[in-house]
Every structure is written in structure tokens, then in C-alpha cells.
Amino acid sequence: MGSLSSLNSICIDRGCFAKCQDSIKNSKVKKLCTRASVAMSAPQSLRSEEFKAQKFEKFRVGVLGASGYTGSEIIRLLAAHPNFQITLMTADRKAGQSIESVFPHLVKRGLPDLIAIKDADFSNVDAVFCCLPHGTTQEIIKGLPSSLKIVDLSVDFRLRDVGEYEEWYGQPHRAQELQKETVYGLTEISRPEIQSARLIANPGCYPTSIQLPLIPLIKANLIEVKNIIIDSKSGVSGAGRGAKEANLYTEIAEGIHSYGVTRHRHVPEIEQGLSDAAKSKVTVSFTPHLMPMSRGMQSTIYVEMAPGASTEDLYEHLRSFYEEEEFVILLKKNEIPHTRHVRGSNYCLMNVFPDRIPGRAIIISVIDNLVKGASGQALQNLNLMMGIPENTGLLSVPLFP
């Protein structure tokens, strides 16, 4: 996407980009420049809604599982948040250590030391991000004070059907009553429900990149729900921080690693969201791949259009649906989304292309798997839950190159 990659120097004292190359003509990209510039400007010139949040009270936040990738991303994003203060961080295997000893890039943040979750005192916490591995989260959340707002980044509360959870994850659901009150937090699709929720199941990275373009099109009856083929590629951070042979440099570098073919655990989550949109059962063909890069995700989606529909119809509907959204951006026609243009940001870039096969279209969607695909969307959701403008702390410009 040449229009984003061509951003030049930033003028800090006046809150504006000094220059965007002439190729930036897309109004959505111009809005991105404007928003980003406001986020980086001096206090006297702040106009973004993000800084209206400074009038709100401070909320005390806990991060459970702070030593993983999603935990460290939450901490990084909260460092720039005017209304959330981290008062608790847990990491059982790193208990007693400072966060900078685990993640040196988080040095000088004035954060509390890591502790074991059994030693956590939740009396000075208003909300928690739960960044623990699946299978461990249900019991822990069940034991948390009912006064807490919770955003769970694991899969443990994403599937409404607890039987389906047991089928795909090989163990019974241990908090079935909590599952009934959980709201699935795909922010742009379920905003009203998120605002009033106590417990949010934060979507997975693949499901986020896939559902954002497909749900509006399915609801508008512009595409058929049969024969949806999804080819997704993720940076290796999507596999977590745990030491695994399959994730070693020599296993991943200089190649593409397909995995979870026909049985990836995000399949039921994807199909649940698409089936809700279609009001009927949707089955997709989904194959994920790990790429030799640290972060980033691209989903290339092949769909059959409804009778009489065209790629222009799909494009215009997505344009209309996301026109006022902060973080979901439909590019100019024929512009190809690239993962390098969302790195480190909460943005999702997408576009629609005609297939060479008549009646079919190709949709490309890109996100940063650790931000919009995990911690950024989690922060977006907690902002909504706490009554704060949802872009607060999330207006960082993507890192490029």
C-alpha cells in the first residue's frame, strides 16, 4: 500500500504530519494521517477524542500472564494510556522478577514486580486482562471477584457451545455458568453488547482477520455461504512464546509452515461468527500457515458472490459499513493490503478483487496478530467497557519499515 508507506516526517509541535506524499489521495488514508498526527501532538493542540479521556478517572488494571507475547503487548499499549494504571502483574514461572528483566524493552515503566497468581490481591484492581493459556483460564476467572471487568484473551470463553469446546480442546468446560454471560468481543460488530458486558471473550487473531470482512457481506446477502475458502498466514508470534521444536529458527526460517490442516482450533470460532451472520450453519475451508516473520497476519479469502452481485457491490458495502470506523480501513480500489503497513498498530486493512473465475471474488485482510488480533482489540474492548473513548491508547502509527 504505497499510500501508507509514503508517510514522511512528523511535525510534533503543531500536531500534524509535515508531509504526506502526493500519492495519498484516499480519504481513509488521510483520516489515518490526521488521527495519527493528533495522537503525537503537544498537549495544547490535542483535539483527538483519545485525549478527552484524560478527564476520566484512573482505573487500576491487572495483567494475568504478563510474561507472554499478548501480555507484553498489553503492557506496551497501556504505557501510553491516560486512564489505565497497571497495579498487578502475574507470571507464575517469572514470579519475583521485574518486567524489564523479562522484557527489556519495557524498562523504566515503573511497574510492579511479577507475582504468582495465587499471591494476587485483587482488592486494588478494577479490571483485568487475562493472557493465560487456554485450559487454565476458566477456573481462574471463576475465582475472581464479581466486581471486576474482565477481558480474556484465551479461547476458553469464545465458543458458546460448551460441548463444541470439549470436542475441539479435549477437555470439559469448567465455567459453564460464566460462559452464559460472556460477550464475544469483535469490537466493530458487537459494540453495544461489549459496552454493557462484565466478561469479554477476546477474538482470536485468525477469526478477527476473517470475520471483519465476511460478516458484513454475509449479513447483506452479497456472498454465498458455501464454498468459502480461507488461506491465512501468520507471523511466528501467533504460536506463542513457549519453547516448541516446531517454532525453532531452523524449522521456520526460509520456508512456509502449514499446520492444523482441516482441524485448526480457530475453525469453530470462525464458523460460529459466520453462522450467526448467516442465521444458518456455515462451514469453511481454512488452512493456516506460519511465515518466517515475527508478527503480522494476512487472510486471503475466496468467495462466491450471490446471484446478481458484483465485486463493486461488495466493495461499496464494505466501504459504507466501515466508513466511520477508526481501525478498519478499506483501501482504494486495486490497492493490495500488506502486513508491513499495520505492524505494531490496531488497524485492519482490507480490499476486494474480482477473481478470474466468473461469479467469484477475492478478499484480502491484514492485521498485526498481536495488536488488532489480540492485545489491541482487548484494550479497545476494555475502553468501551469502562466508558472511555475506544481509541484511547491505540493511535500509534504503524511501524515502517
Task: Give per-residue pLDDT as tens, 357-381.
Answer: 999 999 999 999 999 999 999 999 9
| 304 lies in the same domain as 345 | yes
Q: How far apart are CA 52 and CA 260, in angstroms?
A: 44
Residues 256, 291: contact at Cβ < 8 Å?
A: yes
Q: Is residue 81 part of a domain?
A: yes
Whole-number pLDDT of residue 10: 32
Domain coverage including residue 297: 206-369
Whole-number pLDDT of residue 39: 38
3-state secondary structure of 329: strand
Whole-number pLDDT of residue 243: 63
| 197 lies in the same domain as 248 | no
Whole-number pLDDT of residue 13: 36
pLDDT greater than 50 at residue 12: no
* Mean of pLDDT values over 287-303: 96
Whole-number pLDDT of residue 24: 35
Q: Is residue 399 part of a domain?
A: no
| 217 lies in the same domain as 196 | no
Whole-number pLDDT of residue 7: 36
3-state secondary structure of 84: strand
Whole-number pLDDT of residue 250: 80
User: For the chain, what is the domain count?
Assistant: 3
More confident residue, 52 or 184: 184
What is the percentage of the chain residues whose pLDDT exceeds 70? 85
* Mean of pLDDT values over 202-213: 98
- pLDDT band of 251, cuts 50, 70, 90: confident
Average pLDDT, the chain: 88
* Mean of pLDDT values over 340-368: 98
Q: Is residue 185 part of a domain?
A: yes
Q: Give the CB-side neighbour count of residue 271, counting CA atoms within 13 A.
A: 20
Q: Is residue 198 part of a domain?
A: yes
| 167 lies in the same domain as 272 | no
* Mean of pLDDT values over 161-185: 96
Whole-number pLDDT of residue 75: 97
Question: Can you give the chain as a three-state secondary structure string?
Answer: CHHHHCECCEECCCCEECCECCCCCCHHHHHHHHHHHHHCCCHHHCCCHHHHHHHCCCEEEEEECCCCHHHHHHHHHHCCCCCEEEEEEECHHHCCCCHHHHCHHHCCCCCCCCECHHHCCHHHCCEEEECCCCCCHHHHHHCCCCCCEEEECCCCCCCCCHHHHHHHHCCCCCCHHHHHHCEECCCCCCHHHHHCCCEEECCCHHHHHHHHHHHHHHHCCCECCCCCEEEEEEEHHHHCCCCCHHHCHHHHCCCCEECCCCCCCCHHHHHHHHHHHHCCCCCCEEEEEEECCCCCEEEEEEEEECCCCCHHHHHHHHHHHHCCCCCEEECCCCCCCCHHHCCCCCCEEEEEEECCCCCEEEEEEEECCCHHHHHHHHHHHHHHHCCCCCCCCCCCCCCCC
pLDDT per residue over 14-55, tens digit each?
333 333 334 333 444 444 444 443 333 333 333 345 445 456
Q: Is residue 223 part of a domain?
A: yes
pLDDT per residue over 102-124, tens digit each?
999 999 889 999 999 999 999 99
| 117 lies in the same domain as 233 | no
Q: What is the pTM of this model?
A: 0.85
Looking at residue 174, which CATH number applies to its domain? 3.40.50.720
| 210 lies in the same domain as 284 | yes
Query: Of the listed 20, 33, 205, 348, which one is catalytic?
Result: 205
* Mean of pLDDT values over 293-313: 97
Return the H-helix or E-strand segment holding 267: helix 267-278
| 238 lies in the same domain as 285 | yes
Q: Is residue 398 part of a domain?
A: no
Range name among 120-124, 157-161, 240-244, 253-257 with the lowest pLDDT average? 240-244
Q: How far apart are CA 200 and CA 202, in angstroms?
A: 6
Q: Is residue 396 part of a domain?
A: no
What is the percentage of the chain residues whose pLDDT exceeds 90? 79
Q: Is residue 134 part of a domain?
A: yes
- 205 an active-site residue? yes
Work out the number of other CB atoms within 10 angstroms of the CB of residue 22: 8
Q: How far apart are CA 49 and CA 259, in angstroms?
A: 42
Whole-number pLDDT of residue 241: 63
Q: How far apart are CA 323 and CA 185, in angstroms?
A: 20
Prior bond to 337 cis, omega within 30? no
| 161 lies in the same domain as 299 | no
| 238 lies in the same domain as 117 | no
Residues 37, 397: contact at Cβ < 8 Å?
A: no
Whole-number pLDDT of residue 237: 84
| 190 lies in the same domain as 308 | no
| 181 lies in the same domain as 312 | no
Question: Nearest-CA neighbor of 370 among 72, 45, 5?
Answer: 72
| 97 lies in the same domain as 23 | no
